[in-house]
Structure 1
Amino acid sequence: MSQKGFDRRAFLAAASAAVVGGPALAQSVDGAGTVEIERPINHVIRRNISSFRTLDWQPHFSNLTKGAVLVDISSRALHYWEESGQYHLYPCSVPLTEDLTRRGRTQVVLKDPSPDWRPTPSMKQRNPEWPDYVGPGPDNPLGTRAMHLSWQYYRIHGTHDTRKIGRRSSNGCIGLYNEHIEELYGLAQVGTQVLLI
């Protein structure tokens, strides 16, 4: 019994000495969603919480007229630059398989503030048990907002199923958390250029 008490005291004393005598390690989250970690040598390293990397628009677009959306399928991230250059980064869901994935340039052609959903013919063929129509609301797979792209059946939309974000889980569309699609919906406009890579 006394041996256990001694070991406990020794452990607590050693832990206290390490905390008091050792260098401080501080971290904080800034408004950009990154963590700043201060090393004992006062070297600051910035890491994105979600491990997505920020990108520049210039390698992908010639201008930011009407803003620009870049969807990186491999990192499952949607990058948006406002016309002013203000940058936004959102985690997203991407298509389940390569054959459902489309890459290239398109644009926003319609903004739907209360989307309804109908499965495409190929979706219905793969999943005949799916309903033919789902109106706006909590059962709608398009969430609270949708932006139609110039490619038939392709959209950037929300989802009520938050487990899908950050995964290969869609039938071709790009999905965002509802709060993120609502923000993007308010920023983007018809004619916003979109590139999927």
Structure 2
Amino acid sequence: MTDNKTRGVNRRFFLSGTAATVLAAPAIAQQNSTEYRAPVQGQTRRNASSFRTLDWRPYFENTTNGAILCDISSRALHYWNDDASVYKLYPTSVPQTDDLTRKGRTEVIRKVEGPSWAPTPAMKERNPEWPDFIGPGPDNPLGTHALYLSWQFYRIHGTQDTRKIGRRSSNGCIGLYNEHIQELYALTTTGTQVLLI
């Protein structure tokens, strides 16, 4: 049998825990957002994956046509729109090895919803058992959307295999969750600047 004193302590514990959860809910929701919000002074703004938000100025002269920064080491993609009023931060998959990694400046030259896929000659040499072609659909390694870059064979694309995100798991491309590439696809244009560092 519990006495009134114990019930009072349990009730206070329950109420304080509930209040803390309700008060923390907006902060938790904000952490999981990829939308940029200016940090409170003295506070470091991070998303759910603890990636650092970045300013575009150290990487680009301007954000004309939008700008994408792919950071291979942090496995993050940063996007700024034309007037830098929209900032997005996405977790990515990156190339498996340094020899598959290309760094430098390029741009989006084509956008494809429902891309098809064919292995590059180097991929086919490494993996002769791979098919020669996969059309759009759930088995396609490029996911639901792809941004083709001016570098041959390099893409920013979705993936059906969500285990790859956050890992060194690609053959040279930058991979995003399908819902993220769909959002980025809608934000970008042909001519969007891309920098891989």
- TM-score with structure 1 length normalisation? 0.82
SS of 1:71's equivalent in the other structure is strand
Distance 1:47 1:108, change over 3 A: closer
Distance 1:15 1:123 in 2: 62
Map 1:151-170 to 2 at 5 A. Answer: 151-170=151-170
Gaps of 5+ in 1: 35-42
Q: In the alignment, what sits opposite 2:80?
A: 81
Tell me how far 1:45 sits from its aligned partner: 6.9
Distance 1:137 1:67, change over 3 A: same
Distance 1:188 1:179 in 2: 15
Q: Per-residue displacement from partner, 1:143-174 (whole Å, max 9, x unpaired)?
A: 01111101110000011111111111100000
Tell me how far 1:32 sits from its aligned partner: 6.5
Q: In the alignment, what sits opposite 2:124?
A: 124
Q: In the alignment, what sits opposite 1:38?
A: none
Q: Name the % identity.
A: 64
Distance 2:162 2:63 in 1: 30
Question: 1:73 is aligned with what amino acid?
Answer: I
Distance 1:77 1:170 in 2: 14
Tell me how far 1:30 sits from its aligned partner: 2.1
Question: 2:50 is aligned with what amino acid?
Answer: S
Tell me how far 1:20 sits from its aligned partner: 8.0
Distance 2:57 2:123 in 1: 36
Q: In the alignment, what sits opposite 2:38?
A: none
Q: 1:49 and 2:48 equivalent?
A: yes
Q: In the alignment, what sits opposite 2:39?
A: none
Q: Which has the higher strand share?
A: 1
Distance 2:53 2:10 in 1: 39
Q: In the alignment, what sits opposite 1:145?
A: 145
Q: What is the alpha-carbon root mean square deviation over aligned residues? A: 2.6
Q: Following TM superposition, where does structure 1 have runs of at least 4 consecutive aligned residues deviating by more than 3 angstroms?
A: 12-22, 43-47
Q: Which has the higher helix share?
A: 2
Structure of larger gyration radius = 1
Q: In the alignment, what sits opposite 2:136?
A: 136
Q: 1:182 and 2:178 equivalent?
A: no
SS of 1:90's equivalent in the other structure is strand
- TM-score with structure 2 length normalisation? 0.82
Tell me how far 1:84 sits from its aligned partner: 2.3
Question: 2:71 is aligned with what amino acid?
Answer: D
Size of the aligned set, in residue pairs, is: 181
Q: Per-residue displacement from partner, 1:62-119 (whole Å, max 9, x unpaired)?
A: 1111000000111111000011211011111000011101110000011111210000
Distance 2:146 2:156 in 1: 6
Residues 31 and 48, structure 2, Cα contact 8 Å, conserved in 1:
no
Q: In the alignment, what sits opposite 2:192?
A: 192
Distance 1:97 1:108, change over 3 A: same
Distance 2:16 2:143 in 1: 52
